[in-house]
Chains A and B, each alone.
Chain A
């Protein structure tokens, strides 16, 4: 598991994040940080606020209180466009692919922020637009190779099996060459084999590209195996934070979550 990659400084941190919908509190005073190049897991029982937390990170939800410190800048909330622009990409719990488009096109959308062409150049499709399209196509093909989905590149994603769709969604996120990758239950609903593949992809991305990864996952085996540090949420509150070993022995965590099983 140790690959010689270096975990760096804190690049993203949260202080006292509180989020509510109407009167319902989804997150209460959450604070934790993410270090460069690490794999940071967020775990917790259903409804603990994990997805809400991810949505706060990339600006889908806007917390009422708290502070996000990203790239040294202090701010109340993020917005989706800026967060994408500054290198945060993500996948969704319920796959959010563009169903009417092919695998290739879906992954190509991930490169949109790197494309300079506009609709007029696109319309003419001669010279710069064409060159750019092909250049990005090369990059996308690398991702397709990496994820081993060459055989389905022209298939509309709506027709693919669940596990493959998850892989394509990871591909779309990777296409943006993110510095931080948010994965919302990347292995939910997969069989053992598919999970192993997905683990391998996540570790490779982290290892070879140095991408920082924040992930939510229910499979404890996987989480304890691949993550560097783990945050545990329960009912919107943080009840544990540390290395997998620390979390495993944390009383509160065992009571709230792991303890149920043992």
Chain B
């Protein structure tokens, strides 16, 4: 039972990481209707840039804000060069364009910083929390807990940003109806830049946390791919959905790997989330928290 709890908690905590990546997807999808496949590449790019700057001798306190500035520049460039010419195109075209973006950003990151794995030290040790180990006998990584805490703060901050600020309200208006938002004078382009900037920020946080845990490397983009089943579970438009979906995927893939894996040769973590999401789709295509789509003719 203790072991089960340990696996479950470990899974939930890594699930929070998925949630973070998924959050970036949801933000962009809500505001611009673009399913941004490149979110994973942005995570990779942000982490690699931060680490790269750090390795050049900058302190993290300098490297991280600088990376954020670069992410904003990237957001502006994406909006200007890629998205603006494709306004009003089919969703699927926009989706494919973000696949191209993925390759471009991944290539760019490696062209600038090289393809080798880089280590990132955030100063939080990845050791079991002694308090829990002593009292409950459960090994939970201190690092994971801190990461979860950061993720929680981030989500809370975003929630406040969306509900309390003027920009946040404009964002929600845009999410509801582009045309209507335009007609009352909300500058769509600016909103998009803001959203992509925020998504870049989320990517940076996710990238730093993932990178500190597993090293900053190309494999990060595969981790980010796992955000897709998270979105299917949670619904593409729901922030709480991204969180809950991430937790479910994180926990279930770990449980499946540990308890089911040995019977089938292991390695099922690689596909379990996708198959889970696929089965889920057949039952509830709109996701846990997504809006039901009524099709009209």
Which residues of A pack against B, CB within 8 Å? 21, 55, 60, 92, 94, 96
Establish whether residues A92 and B297, one from each chain, have CB atoms under 8 Å apart when the complex forms: yes
Q: Are B297 and A21 in contact (CB under 8 A)?
A: no
Top 5 closest A-B pairs, CB basis? A92-B297, A60-B297, A96-B297, A21-B294, A55-B297
Question: Count the A-B residue pairs with Cβ separation under 8 angstroms: how many?
Answer: 6
The interface residues of chain B, by DSSP majority, are classed as loop
Minimum CB distance partner of A21 in chain B: B294
Contacts of B294 in A (CB 8 A): 21
Q: Which residue of chain A has the shortest Cβ distance to B295 in the bound complex?
A: A60
Task: Give, as a whole number of angstroms, the nearest-CB distance from A158 to chain B.
Answer: 13
Docked complex Cα distance between A21 and B297 (Å): 14
In the complex, what residues of B have CB within 8 A of residue A55's CB? 297
* Alpha-carbon distance between A21 and B294 when the two chains are bound, in angstroms: 10
How many B residues have CB within 8 A of the partner chain? 2
**B-side contacts of A60, CB under 8 Å:** 297
Please report B residues at the A interface, Cβ cutoff 8 Å: 294, 297
Q: List 6 interface pairs A-B (beta carbons < 8 Å), by A numbering.
A: A21-B294, A55-B297, A60-B297, A92-B297, A94-B297, A96-B297
Q: What is the chain B residue whose CB lies nearest that of A94?
A: B297
For A184, give the chain B residue with the smallest CB separation. Answer: B297
Residues of B near A94 (CB, < 8 A) are: 297
Complex alpha-carbon distance, A60 and B294, angstroms: 13
Chain A's nearest CB lies how many Å from the CB of B93?
13
Task: Give the docked Cα–Cα distance between A221 and B297 (Å).
Answer: 26
| Nearest-Cβ distance from residue B89 to partner chain A, whole angstroms | 13
Residues of A within 8 A of B297 (CB): 55, 60, 92, 94, 96
B-side contacts of A21, CB under 8 Å: 294
In the bound assembly, the distance between CA atoms of A92 and B297 in angstroms comes to: 8
Chain B residue contacts of A96, Cβ below 8 A:
297
Chain A nearest CB from B297 CB (Å) reads: 6
Instruction: List the B side residues contacting A92 at CB < 8 Å.
Output: 297
Chain A's closest residue to B294 (CB) is A21
Distance between B127 CB and nearest chain A CB, rounded to angstroms: 53
**A34 CB, nearest partner CB in chain B, Å:** 21
- The distance in angstroms between the C-alpha atoms of A94 and B294, with both chains bound, is 17
Expressed in whole angstroms, the Cα–Cα distance for A210 and B55 within the complex equals: 83
B102 to chain A, nearest CB (A): 26
Q: How far in angstroms is the closest Cβ of chain A from B291?
A: 13
Bound CA span A55–B297, Å: 9
Determine the distance from Cα of A60 to Cα of B297 in the docked complex, in whole angstroms: 9
A49 to chain B, nearest CB (A): 14
Q: Give min CB distance, A72 to chain B, whole Å.
A: 29
User: How far, in angstroms, from A35 to B288 measured CA to CA in the complex?
Assistant: 48
Cα A211 to Cα B297 in complex, Å, equals 24
- Report the bound CA distance from A156 to B297 in whole Å: 22
A8 to chain B, nearest CB (A): 30
CB A98 to nearest CB in B, in angstroms, measures 14
Chain B residue nearest in CB terms to A54? B297
